[in-house]
Structure 1
Amino acid sequence: MSLKTRAQLRAARALLDWTQSDLAERCGLTSRSIHRLEDGDGILATKVETLHKLQAALEAAGVIFIPANGGGSGVRLRED
């Protein structure tokens, strides 16, 4: 599954208790870029490479992206 919505991005960051700056640092983007993705309509128009960076950083920290199953796409933390 992959990162599809800004709600998933915000939720994943919240599960990890990361600030926008924390996420930006871990995936090589700016805080401003994270802010635009979460608060604007930018996620659908975002470059695939940027989405891959975001997803890779979040998954490395334990986030699992859940496919839509009638209730919309979501996220959860991996059980260790």
Structure 2
Amino acid sequence: MALYGPFCALSMIGGQQIRMARAALRWSIEDLSQHAGIGSRTIKRLEATDEITSANMTTILKIKSCFEYAGIEFIGSPNDRPGIRIGQRLGESDPS
């Protein structure tokens, strides 16, 4: 745990945020599984709780990075006003 330090706390997302992000993108569990390279059973397990899970940090980072690439910004934390903000997909230019 000490290996990650503050980075670990900043990188955590909970099941509620994963469900919100999937809904915002209209992705099924299978869609997220394919985009993130994570098994659908793992995603179901992570979504089943709103608490910080004991998942492998690499798994959480893969899911988080996949959503961020698709334009989702995570706000709050799993234990303090968790949410998402829908933004621009990475690599897309601002039309203004």
TM-score (norm 1): 0.83
Amino acid at match of 2:37: G
The structure that has the greater radius of gyration is: 2
Which one has more relative contact order, counting CA pairs under 8 Å at least 6 apart? Answer: 1
Aligned-partner Cα distance in 1 for 2:61–2:34 = 15
1:41: how far off?
7.0
Please point out which of 13, 22, 31 is paired with 1:4.
13
CA contact (8 A) 1:3 1:9 kept: no
The answer to whether structure 1 residue 50 and structure 2 residue 59 are counterparts is yes
The answer to whether structure 1 residue 60 and structure 2 residue 53 are counterparts is no
SS at 2:84's partner residue? Answer: strand
Please point out which of 37, 49, 55 is paired with 1:28.
37
Aligned-partner Cα distance in 1 for 2:82–2:51 = 17
Structure 1 pair 75–35 and aligned structure 2 pair: CA distance change class (3 A): same
Give the ranges of 4+ consecutive aligned residues of structure 1 lying more than 4 Å apart after TM superposition: 40-43
TM-score (norm 2): 0.71
Structure 1 pair 25–42 and aligned structure 2 pair: CA distance change class (3 A): farther
The answer to whether structure 1 residue 75 and structure 2 residue 84 are counterparts is yes
RMSD over aligned Cα atoms: 2.1
Unaligned runs of 5+ in 1: none
Higher helix share: 1
How big is each residue's C-alpha offset from its partner over 1:33-76, in whole Å with a ceiling of 9 and x where there is no partner?
Answer: 111110147852011100000001000000001125xx612101
State how many pairs are aligned: 78
